[in-house]
C-alpha cells in the first residue's frame, strides 16, 4: 500500500528533523516530489533508506535540492545508489570494452587523459571542474563540456526517442539518478528560451506513426529539462478490461535484430506496493541502434501499431512532467514507472553559463536498506556487465 502524503511528511520529520518537508513538482500529484531538509552527504540509517525507497515508489521521481553546498562528492551519490540497487558500470568508462566482450581480455579503465571528467575540466578550466570521484566506473557523465570552450562554435542537438534506461537487459534497470553540478543559466534570459526546437531528421520515427503520437513525441521542453511520463498513472486510468488484456502480455526485448532476446512482462508490478505500471511500452526506443520490441505473438508491424497506441496514451499531457535541473539537485527516478526523454540541448558551448554537468548512476536488483549490499558473486556475474561492486570506502557509514 502507498503511504499518504501526510504519513510521508510525518515520517520525514521523525527521521530527518523538523525542517524536512515536501512539495509537489507537477500538477499530477502522482509524479514528482521535491524533498527538503535531507542532507545526502550523510549516510542513511536503514529506516531512512527505507523511507527513500518508499518516496520513490510513491512519487516515481524525487528531487533533493541544495546538496552539500560544495561538499557533495560523487561517492555520496554512489552510496545512495547502493540503497536502491546494485550500481552498473558504464561501458564508456572502459578503454577496451569491445575486446573484453569479444576476446575476454581483462578490463582496463580509460587512461586519465581520456576520461570524460578530464575532458570536461579542459573546457573552462578556471570556471568549472568536475567534482571528486567523477571517474568511478559507475558514473556516466551527461554533459556538453566535452569539446567545448571559449573559442568553440556553438552547436545544438535534438532530443532522443522516448525510452527508459537499459530496459533491454534480462534484468532491467530499476532506478537512475542524477547529481547536477551545473545547469544552463542562460535559459533564464528575459523572454528567451535556451534552444529552438530541433526538427527530426527523416526516418527518426517510423513514417506510419499516428499524427497524435508524433505531436506528443515532438512536444519536448526547450530549456534543458528532462521530460518524463508517468506510466503507472497511465496504466491506472485504463479501463479494467484493457488492463486485464495488458496484464498477460509479454514483450521480447533484445539488443540486436536476430538475437533470440528474452520475454519480459509488459506490465510491471511493484513488489513493495503492488502498484502496476507499463514498463517502457515503446516499440523503437533507440531508433536504429537497438532492435524494436516484439510483442509476443505479434508480427513486427502489429507490434509497432500495438505499442504506438500505448506510447500515445502515456505521452498525454496529464502524465507528462518536464523536470527543470538546478545545480545541487539529486534527482532519482523509477525506470519501471516512468519513461523519459533527453531535451534538445546545446551540445557544444562557448560559455560556462550554458554548461550541463550531471552525473548519472543507474542500478538494478532489489533495494538494500543496509550497506554494504549482499549481492552474491553469482548474481553480480549474471546481471552486472562488467562485474562491479562499489568500493568499500564509498558505502561505509
Secondary structure letter of residue 17 according to DSSP: -
- In the bound state with Fe ion, the residue whose beta carbon lies nearer, of 82 and 280, is 280
Q: Identify how many contiguous H helices and E strands the chain contains and give both numbers.
A: 11, 18
Interatomic CA distance for residues 256 and 252, integer angstroms: 12
Q: How far is the CB of 112 from Fe ion (least distance, A)?
A: 27
22: helix, strand or coil:
strand
Q: How far is the CB of 28 from Fe ion (least distance, A)?
A: 20
- In the bound state with Fe ion, the residue whose beta carbon lies nearer, of 159 and 184, is 159
360: helix, strand or coil:
strand
Binding segment (CB under 5 A) for Fe ion, from list 83-91, 163-171, 187-195, 290-298: 163-171
Interatomic CA distance for residues 3 and 294, integer angstroms: 36
SS3 string, 210-237, reads: CHHHHHHHHCCCCCCCEEEEEHHHHHHC
Secondary-structure breakdown of the chain: helix, strand, coil percentages, each rounded to the nearest 5: 30, 20, 50
Residue 167 as a binder of Fe ion (CB under 5 A): the answer is no
Q: How far is the CB of 25 from Fe ion (least distance, A)?
A: 18
Q: How far is the CB of 219 from Fe ion (least distance, A)?
A: 18
Interatomic CA distance for residues 212 and 259, integer angstroms: 32
- In the bound state with Fe ion, the residue whose beta carbon lies nearer, of 165 and 308, is 165
Residue nearest to Fe ion (CB): 165
Q: How far is the CB of 234 from Fe ion (least distance, A)?
A: 18
Report residue 111 as a C-alpha cell. 587512461
- In the bound state with Fe ion, the residue whose beta carbon lies nearer, of 133 and 165, is 165
Interatomic CA distance for residues 107 and 89, integer angstroms: 12
From candidates 57, 78, 165, 308, binder to Fe ion by CB under 5 A: 165
Q: How far is the CB of 291 from Fe ion (least distance, A)?
A: 18
Binding segment (CB under 5 A) for Fe ion, from list 95-103, 132-140, 158-166, 239-247: 158-166
- In the bound state with Fe ion, the residue whose beta carbon lies nearer, of 165 and 354, is 165
- Where does this chain bind Fe ion (CB under 5 A)? 165
Amino acid at each position: 500500500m502507498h503511504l499518504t502524503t501526510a504519513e510521508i511528511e510525518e515520517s520525514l520529520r521523525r527521521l530527518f528533523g523538523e525542517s524536512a518537508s515536501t512539495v509537489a513538482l507537477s500538477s499530477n500529484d502522482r509524479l514528482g516530489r521535491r524533498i527538503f531538509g535531507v542532507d545526502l552527504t550523510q549516510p542513511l540509517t536503514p529506516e531512512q533508506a527505507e523511507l527513500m525507497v518508499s518516496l520513490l515508489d510513491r512519487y516515481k521521481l524525487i528531487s533533493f535540492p541544495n546538496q552539500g553546498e560544495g561538499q557533495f562528492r560523487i561517492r555520496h551519490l554512489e552510496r545512495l545508489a547502493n540503497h536502491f540497487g546494485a550500481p552498473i558500470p558504464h561501458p564508456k568508462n572502459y578503454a577496451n570494452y569491445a575486446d573484453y566482450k569479444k576476446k575476454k581480455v581483462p578490463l582496463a579503465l580509460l587512461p586519465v587523459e581520456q576520461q570524460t571528467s578530464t575532458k570536461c575540466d579542459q573546457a573552462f578550466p578556471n570556471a568549472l571542474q568536475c567534482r571528486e570521484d567523477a571517474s568511478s566506473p559507475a558514473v556516466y557523465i551527461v554533459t556538453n563540456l566535452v569539446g567545448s570552450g571559449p573559442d568553440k562554435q556553438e552547436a545544438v542537438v535534438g532530443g532522443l526517442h522516448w525510452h527508459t534506461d537499459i530496459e533491454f537487459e534480462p534484468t532491467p534497470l530499476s532506478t537512475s539518478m542524477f547529481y547536477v553540478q551545473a545547469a544552463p543559466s542562460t535559459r533564464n534570459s528575459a523572454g528567451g528560451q535556451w534552444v529552438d526546437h530541433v526538427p527530426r531528421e527523416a526516418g527518426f520515427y517510423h513514417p506510419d506513426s499516428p499524427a497524435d503520437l508524433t505531436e506528443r513525441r515532438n512536444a519536448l521542453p526547450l530549456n534543458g529539462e528532462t521530460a518524463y511520463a508517468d506510466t503507472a498513472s497511465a496504466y491506472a486510468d485504463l479501463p479494467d478490461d484493457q488492463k486485464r488484456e495488458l496484464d498477460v502480455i509479454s514483450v521480447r526485448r533484445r539488443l540486436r535484430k536476430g538475437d533470440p532476446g528474452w520475454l519480459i512482462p509488459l506490465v510491471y508490478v511493484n513488489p513493495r506496493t503492488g502498484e502496476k505500471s507499463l514498463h517502457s511500452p515503446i516499440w523503437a526506443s533507440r531508433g536504429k541502434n537497438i532492435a524494436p520490441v516484439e510483442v509476443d505473438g505479434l508480427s513486427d508491424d502489429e507490434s509497432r501499431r500495438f505499442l504506438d497506441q500505448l506510447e500515445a496514451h502515456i505521452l498525454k499531457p496529464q502524465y507528462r512532467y518536464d523536470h527543470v535541473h538546478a545545480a545541487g539537485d539529486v534527482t532519482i527516478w523509477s525506470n519501471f514507472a516512468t519513461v523519459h526523454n533527453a531535451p534538445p540541448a546545446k551540445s557544444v558551448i562557448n560559455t560556462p553559463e550554458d554548461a550541463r554537468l550531471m552525473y548519472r548512476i543507474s542500478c538494478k536488483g532489489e533495494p538494500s536498506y543496509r550497506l554494504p549490499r549482499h549481492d552474491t558473486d553469482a548474481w553480480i556475474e549474471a546481471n552486472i556487465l562488467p562485474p562491479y561492486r562499489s568500493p568499500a570506502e564509498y558505502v561505509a557509514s
